């Protein structure tokens, strides 16, 4: 079963394909999903809410203010893994694109923190109309997943594009999407075959949007301190860990700024990247953003020192003789500045240690006034600097809160971001309780 422990909200619009929705419900349930359904007023004419209620075991939503024993529109999708709208009519697509909330389905969609998947179904001319195409494009840009309709005979008697995909195909798409760590199929490629779900790996789950609405700033990579126009002091950080964190935070719905030292990694999708070189550049870039962020994560390997004097011309060994002495002065500590800011964001640091890791990490947590610190044992060659894997021990002020054993940095980043968002939200709730 591909959808065990998944809550799927099925939104049904008033298209003739609505008659296929009880079958869609049945197939979702067969894959283990807990299905809640919500119908638009016109869909209620085409598919019986009583049937849907009997199938799903849950009351069926329709009007926003007609609660009875229904769940409200805000809570409906709050803990859902996906909102699936099938069939999605041209009318509802237009409402979604423009943020209207005139019935239970459109209101729930507007409040949904989870991925939204829509399966359009309509007459071909309505589908091809520039207004519908523009609305679909807008939704796609906002991250809504669109299951393109099929070609074939339509309910109006015409033939063409606009048929809702078969329930089994829609279930296959949902399974594939939720089990591929958020990677949608390449745009408009073929859908998975109806029998595909069981072939798909269920290891990587599409993350919940636990970072939705949060502004996260992450530093990543090394810094470079110039010696002369061609030489620098730097370190082995590749940026992989920080970039993976940025991607994980973004996938969880956060608004992410990535302040990156000199690395050649591509920018994760929908992440705002600011490139810097020196520790001072990074300090200035972080400081400039500090009032606009909720969470700061210092993953960069920042140079602790810089040259007291930067040579304006390339150093010549003929002029320097057999030895060269460079005077270094201390750089400002960026994450410590963030931890001591007032007001301060939720502040997470890293500690790269070769010995006595836990002691040094806890000391840094205290001294830099951090909420969390992730300890990286960089005496190991298989994790840490410039590797694809990592392993972390995470501490807060009361001690160790997580042990993230060796795994690809993408996986470690996902685990760490879930921990950070959970702790941030718990902290916020506690503050609200005590206010």
**Within 230-289, which residues bind ligand PMT (CB under 6 A)?**
237-242, 279
231 vs 298: CA distance, rounded Å: 25
- Binding of ligand PMT at residue 301 (CB under 6 A)? yes
Residue pair 332/283 in contact by the 8 Å Cβ criterion: yes
Phi and psi at residue 112, in whole multiples of 5°? -75, 125
The residues near 250 (Cβ < 8 Å, ≥ 6 apart) are: 211, 256, 268, 269, 270, 271
The answer to whether 88 touches 121, Cβ cutoff 8 Å, is: yes
17: annotated binding-site residue? no
3-state secondary structure 201-267: CCCECCCCCCCCCCEEEEEECECCEECCCCCEECCCCCCHHHHHHHHHHHHCCCEEEEEECCCCCCC
Confirm or deny that 102 is annotated as ligand binding. Answer: no
Q: How far is the CB of 57 from ligand PMT (least distance, A)?
A: 46
Q: Which of 299, 414, 416, 419 touches ligand PMT by CB under 6 A?
A: 299
> Interface with ligand PMT by CB under 6 A: which range of 52-60, 102-110, 192-200, 346-354?
346-354
398 known ligand binder: no
CB closer to ligand PMT, 28 vs 300 = 300
Choose, from 13, 25, 156, 175, the residue flagged as catalytic: 156
Q: How far is the CB of 324 from ligand PMT (least distance, A)?
A: 24
Binding residue for ligand PMT, selected from 175, 258, 351, 393, defined by CB under 6 A:
351
Q: How many whole angstroms separate alpha carbon 102 and alpha carbon 42?
A: 13
Smallest distance, Å, CB 272 to ligand PMT? 19
349 interacts with ligand PMT by CB under 6 A: yes
Q: How far is the CB of 303 from ligand PMT (least distance, A)?
A: 7
Q: What six digits make up the tokens of 107?
A: 């209101």
Assess 411 for contact with ligand PMT (CB under 6 A).
no
In the complex, least distance from residue 412 CB atom to ligand PMT, rounded to whole angstroms: 9
**Shortest Å, Cβ 236 to ligand PMT:** 7
Q: How far is the CB of 392 from ligand PMT (least distance, A)?
A: 8
Antiparallel, parallel or unpaired: β 372-377 and 389-396: antiparallel
Burial 381-392 (b: 16+ CB within 10 A, else e): eebbbebebbbb
Q: How far apart are CA 79 and CA 82, in angstroms?
A: 9
**CA distance readout (Å), 38 to 12, 44, 114, 208:** 6, 9, 16, 21
CB 295 within 8 Å of CB 214: yes
For residues 347 and 351, what is the distance between their CA atoms, to the nearest angstrom?
13
What is the size of the binding site for ligand PMT (CB under 6 A)?
Answer: 29
Query: Among residues 164 and 337, whose Cβ is nearest to ligand PMT?
Result: 337
213: alpha, beta or left? (left if phi > 0; alpha if psi -120 to 50): left
Least distance (Å) between residue 297 CB and ligand PMT? 8
Task: Name which of 323 and 327 has its Cβ closer to ligand PMT.
Answer: 327
Is 333 a binder of ligand PMT (CB under 6 A)?
yes
Instruction: By CB under 6 A, tell whether 334 contacts ligand PMT.
Output: yes
SS3 label, residue 139: helix
Encoded one letter per residue, x for contact with ligand PMT by CB under 6 A and - for no contact, window 375-404 reads -x-x-----xxx------------------
- Residue with smaller CB distance to ligand PMT, 35 or 244: 244
By CB under 6 A, tell whether 300 contacts ligand PMT.
yes
Please confirm, yes or no, whether 21 is among the known catalytic residues: no
Q: Is 364 a residue that touches ligand PMT (CB under 6 A)? A: yes
Q: Is 287 annotated as a binding residue?
A: no
User: Is residue 30 a known part of a binding site?
Assistant: no
Tokens in use for 394? 């995470």
Binding to ligand PMT, residues 186-225 (CB under 6 A) = 219, 221
Ramachandran angles phi, psi of 374, nearest 5°: -105, 120
Identify the burial level of 414 via C-beta atoms within 10 angstroms of its C-beta, where 0-12 means exposed, 13-18 middle and 19 or more buried: buried
Any known ligand binding at 243?
A: no
Closest to ligand PMT by CB, 70 or 353: 353
Q: Which is nearer to ligand PMT, 13 or 394 (CB)?
A: 394
Residue 123 is a binding residue for ligand PMT (CB under 6 A): no
Residue that the structure tokens 């939503």 belong to: 61
Cis, bond preceding 87 (omega within 30 deg of 0): yes
Catalytic residue IDs:
156
Known binding-site residues equal 298-300, 304, 314, 350, 364, 368
The residue ranges that bind ligand PMT (CB under 6 A) are: 219, 221, 237-242, 279, 298-302, 304, 331, 333-335, 349-352, 364, 376, 378, 384-386
Known binding-site residues for CTP equal 298-300, 304, 314, 350, 364, 368
């Amino acid at each position: 079963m591909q959808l065990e422990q998944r809550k799927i909200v099925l939104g049904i619009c008033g298209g003739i394909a609505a008659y296929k929705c009880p079958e869609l419900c049945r197939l979702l349930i067969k894959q283990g999903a807990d299905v809640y359904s919500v119908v638009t007023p016109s869909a209620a004419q085409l598919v019986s809410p009583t049937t849907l209620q009997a199938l799903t075991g849950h009351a069926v939503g329709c009007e926003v203010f007609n609660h009875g024993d229904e769940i409200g529109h805000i809570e409906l999708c709050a803990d859902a893994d996906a909102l699936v709208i099938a069939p999605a009519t041209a009318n509802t697509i237009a409402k979604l694109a423009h943020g209207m909330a005139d019935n239970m389905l459109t209101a729930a969609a507007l409040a949904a923190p989870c991925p939204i998947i829509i399966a359009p179904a309509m007459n071909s001319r309505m589908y091809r109309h520039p207004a519908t195409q523009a609305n679909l494009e807008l939704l796609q840009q906002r991250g809504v997943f669109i299951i393109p309709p099929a070609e074939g005979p339509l309910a109006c008697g015409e033939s063409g594009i606009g048929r809702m995909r078969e329930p089994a195909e829609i279930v296959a798409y949902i399974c594939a999407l939720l089990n591929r760590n958020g990677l949608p199929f390449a745009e408009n490629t073929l859908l998975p075959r109806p029998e595909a779900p069981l072939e798909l790996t269920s290891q990587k789950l599409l993350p919940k949007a636990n970072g939705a609405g949060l502004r996260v700033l992450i530093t990543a990579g090394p810094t470079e301190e110039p010696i002369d126009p061609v030489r620098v002091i730097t370190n082995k950080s590749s940026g992989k860990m920080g970039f993976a964190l940025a991607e994980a935070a973004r996938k969880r719905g956060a608004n992410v700024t990535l302040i990156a030292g000199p690395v050649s990694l591509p920018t994760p999708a929908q992440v705002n990247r600011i490139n810097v070189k020196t520790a001072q550049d990074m300090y200035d870039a972080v400081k400039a953003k500090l009032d606009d962020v909720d969470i700061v994560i210092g993953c960069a390997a920042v140079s602790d020192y810089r040259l007291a004097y930067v040579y304006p011309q390339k150093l010549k060994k003929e002029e320097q003789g057999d030895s060269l002495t460079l005077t270094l002065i201390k750089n400002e500590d960026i994450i410590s500045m963030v931890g001591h800011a007032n007001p301060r964001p939720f502040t997470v640091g890293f500690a790269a240690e070769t010995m006595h890791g836990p002691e040094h990490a806890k000391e840094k947590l205290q001294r830099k006034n951090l909420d969390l610190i992730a300890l990286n044992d960089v005496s190991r060659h298989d994790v840490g600097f410039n590797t694809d894997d990592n392993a972390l021990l995470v501490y807060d002020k009361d001690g160790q809160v997580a042990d993230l054993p060796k795994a690809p940095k993408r996986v470690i980043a996902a685990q760490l971001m879930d921990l950070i968002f959970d702790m941030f939200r718990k902290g916020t709730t506690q503050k609200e309780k005590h206010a």
